[in-house]
């Protein structure tokens, strides 16, 4: 009994010291993991973090380098979609950074015009449209600049955005954005004129079909970006999954993606009989390094358990079905951890399976009721719109009716509008305009 008590106390002490580093290591995503480990080494010279990502990417980069260079040489305009490795390593400018760089003379020659332009940038929505109010911006700028700024002046500054990159940014709506983009397009004056006429009645563009310039005009209009900030939407950059779900016939296996994991190299301890204080210091630091190794293994074990539980709960999803309601509390109870710990564990982590790469948080959809998740409803909305009649796009009210009938839940129309916005899907009226500009083959 005494031996068992001593063993239990020793194990508890070891776990306690390991847990100090386990939580921050658990919380870090794969891309941050090495930085987190290195932060523990600031005051510990007796271990070294060997990069798993750098080694793996370096090996893959050598295989892809030649092909990537050929793509660059052959690309027109220098706008090249790099492969996963280059995307992982290159940081792109945000839309705000690109626009702020252009707020300068001669287009914005005064301090007032520049400050107004910056306020307009702050009022752009995620799609790049102006979602602010000129009167409000005028009042704010008047106070900050201690001068009288009118709403008319703000509007005049906004219209100068038609000369900025990306073209179409800062417009009030799709049609104005297309006009902005048309002004940036190098087309003959007669084609330009026809484009303007078509944009005046975009839904009735077919009435211009007899015009011999109609095909050129429509090709120009179809080249426009909609929404204007399309190129700045968050891209699917190369992510490194922590968990791999492998399927072999009816068997599903869960593995940790060890390939990209960093490793910790610990220096060998040499006894220093002449300096017991230094020897004790080295011993302490080496123990801390070993605790990090244990914490790293605990991270793997915890994520592996989470992967197993996700496969257990979401088995139908991995077989082609929908994600079912699953809460952090469900997993926390099964793993004997608090929901906050599980929340840390799934933050910035990804799972790869036969259906693609998914953030772990996707498997913990908020439940609308006990049988339905918001993810299932969003998927249903996306599928409805994907297959809708292009002549009569579905309104949010109609989608709401179909969703409530299918899922037997109570919702309001603004819930559908919110889900549609999260899916980057335009309203039914805007979709109808977009469908109209598609030229029939």
* 110: confidence class by pLDDT, cuts 50, 70, 90: very high
Specify the pLDDT at position 33: 86
Other beta carbons within 10 angstroms of residue 170's beta carbon come to 25
Average pLDDT score over residue span 88-108? 79
pLDDT per residue over 172-206, tens digit each? Answer: 988 899 999 999 888 899 999 999 999 888 877 88
pLDDT digits (tens, 9 = 90+) for 28-76: 888 788 888 888 878 788 888 887 766 554 454 444 444 444 443 443 3
- Under 8 Å between Cβ of 296 and 49: no
Task: Say if residue 13's pLDDT is above 60.
Answer: no
Q: List the one residue out of 351, 302, 260, 305 whose CA is nearest residue 53.
A: 260
* Paired tokens of 159: 């219209």
Position 123 pLDDT exceeds 50: yes
416-422: Cβ within 8 A, 24+ apart: 416/381, 419/374, 419/377, 419/378, 419/381, 420/381, 420/385, 420/396, 422/378
Neighbours of 318 (CB within 10 A): 16
Please tell me the distance from the alpha carbon of residue 235 to that of residue 69, in angstroms, as a whole number.
21
What is d(CA 165, CA 271) in angstroms, rounded to the nearest whole number? 65
Report d(CA 84, CA 236) in Å as an integer: 9
pLDDT band of residue 152 (cuts 50, 70, 90) is: very high
CB-based contacts of 344, cutoff 8 Å, min separation 6: 23, 26, 27
Q: How confident is the model at residue 117 (pLDDT cuts 50, 70, 90)?
A: very high
The count of residues in the chain is 441
Q: Residue 92: which pLDDT band, with cuts at 50, 70 and 90?
A: low
User: Does 321 have pLDDT greater than 80?
Assistant: no
Contact present, 308 and 315 (Cβ < 8 Å): no
Q: Is 101 exposed, middle or buried (0-12, 13-18, 19+ CB in 10 A)?
A: exposed
Predicted confidence at residue 148, as pLDDT, reads 94
pLDDT at residue 409 greater than cutoff 90: no
Give the per-residue pLDDT at 212: 93
Per DSSP, the residues of 200-226 read HTGGGGGGGTTSTTHHHHHHHHHTS-S
- Model confidence band, residue 142 (pLDDT cutoffs 50, 70, 90): very high
Q: Is 435 helix (H, G, I), strand (E, B) or coil?
A: helix
| Band of residue 268 on the pLDDT scale cut at 50, 70, 90 | confident
Phi, psi of 221 (to 5 degrees): -65, -40
Give percent of the chain above pLDDT 70: 80
As given in the structure block, the two tokens for residue 379 are 């998927």
pLDDT score, position 56: 55
Question: Which residue has 């040489």 as its token pair?
Answer: 73
CA 109 – CA 339 distance, rounded (Å): 54
pLDDT at residue 180, rounded to an integer: 93
Q: Residue 274 pLDDT > 80, yes or no?
A: no
Closest CA to 84 of 107, 64, 104: 64
Q: What is the full DSSP assignment across 245-280?
A: EEEETTEEEEEE-GGG--EEEEPPP---TT-HHHHH
| 340 touches 26 (CB < 8 A) | no
Domain layout of the chain by residue ranges: 14-51+239-363, 99-232, 374-436
**Residue range 307-334: average pLDDT?**
81
What is the rounded average pLDDT of the residues 289-309? 90
Residue holding tokens 């484009």? 195
Compute the CA torsion angle 289, 48, 54, 34 (nearest 10 deg). Answer: 40
pLDDT of residue 384: 92
Alpha-carbon distance values, 387 to 381, 391, 392 (Å): 10, 12, 11
Is it the case that residue 397 has pLDDT exceeding 70?
yes
Is the Cβ–Cβ distance between 68 and 81 less than 8 Å? no
In whole angstroms, what is the distance from residue 254 CA to residue 438 CA? Answer: 45
124 has pLDDT over 70: yes
Mean pLDDT score of the chain, rounded to an integer?
A: 79
Contact in structure between 88 and 238 (CB atoms under 8 Å)? yes
Return the pLDDT at 327: 75
191 token code pair: 């084609």
- Residue 63 has what pLDDT? 45
pLDDT score of 233: 66
Question: Considering only 35-44, 208-217, 271-280, which range has the smallest mean pLDDT?
Answer: 271-280
Q: Where are the beta strands (DSSP E) in 15-66?
A: 47-50
pLDDT at 307: 92
CA distance 365 to 372: 9
- Report the alpha-carbon angle 80-86-88, nearest 5: 125
């Amino acid at each position: 009994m005494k031996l068992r008590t001593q063993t239990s106390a020793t194990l508890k002490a070891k776990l306690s010291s390991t847990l100090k580093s386990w939580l921050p290591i658990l919380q870090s995503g794969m891309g941050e993991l090495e930085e987190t480990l290195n932060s523990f080494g600031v005051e510990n010279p007796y271990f070294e973090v060997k990069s798993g990502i750098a080694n793996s990417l370096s090996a893959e980069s050598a295989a892809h380098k030649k092909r990537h260079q050929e793509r660059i040489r052959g690309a027109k305009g220098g706008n090249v979609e790099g492969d996963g490795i280059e995307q992982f390593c290159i940081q792109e400018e945000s839309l705000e950074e690109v626009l702020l760089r252009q707020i300068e003379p001669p287009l914005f020659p005064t301090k007032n015009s520049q400050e107004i332009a910056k306020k307009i940038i702050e009022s752009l929505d995620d799609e790049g449209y102006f979602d602010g109010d000129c009167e409000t911006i005028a009042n704010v700028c008047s106070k900050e600049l201690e001068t009288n700024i009118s709403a008319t002046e703000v509007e005049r500054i906004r219209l100068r955005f038609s000369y900025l990159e990306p073209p179409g940014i800062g417009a009030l709506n799709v049609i104005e954005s297309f006009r902005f983009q048309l002004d940036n397009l190098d087309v003959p004056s007669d084609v330009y004129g026809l484009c303007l006429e078509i944009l005046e009645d975009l839904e009735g563009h077919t009435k211009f079909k007899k015009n011999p310039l109609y095909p050129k005009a429509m090709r120009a209009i179809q080249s426009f970006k909609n929404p204007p900030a399309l190129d700045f939407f968050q891209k699917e950059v190369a992510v490194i999954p922590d968990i791999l779900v492998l399927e072999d016939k009816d068997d599903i296996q869960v593995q940790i993606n060890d390939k990209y994991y960093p490793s910790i190299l610990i220096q060998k301890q040499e006894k220093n009989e002449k300096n017991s204080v230094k020897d004790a210091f080295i011993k302490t630091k080496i123990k801390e390094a070993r605790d990090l190794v244990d914490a790293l293994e605990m991270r793997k074990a915890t994520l592996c358990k989470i992967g197993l539980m996700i496969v257990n709960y979401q088995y139908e999803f991995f077989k082609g079905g929908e994600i079912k309601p699953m809460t952090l509390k469900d997993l926390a109870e099964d793993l004997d951890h608090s929901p906050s710990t599980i929340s840390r564990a799934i933050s910035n982590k990804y799972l790869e399976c036969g259906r693609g790469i998914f953030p772990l948080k996707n498997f913990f959809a908020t439940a609308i009721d006990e049988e339905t998740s918001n993810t299932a409803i969003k998927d249903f909305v996306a599928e409805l719109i994907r297959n809708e009649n292009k002549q009569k796009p579905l309104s949010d009210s109609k989608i709401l009716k179909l969703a409530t009938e299918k899922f037997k839940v109570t919702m309001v129309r603004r819930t559908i509008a919110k889900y549609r916005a999260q899916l980057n899907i335009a309203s039914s009226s805007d979709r109808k305009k977009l469908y109209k500009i598609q030229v029939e083959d």
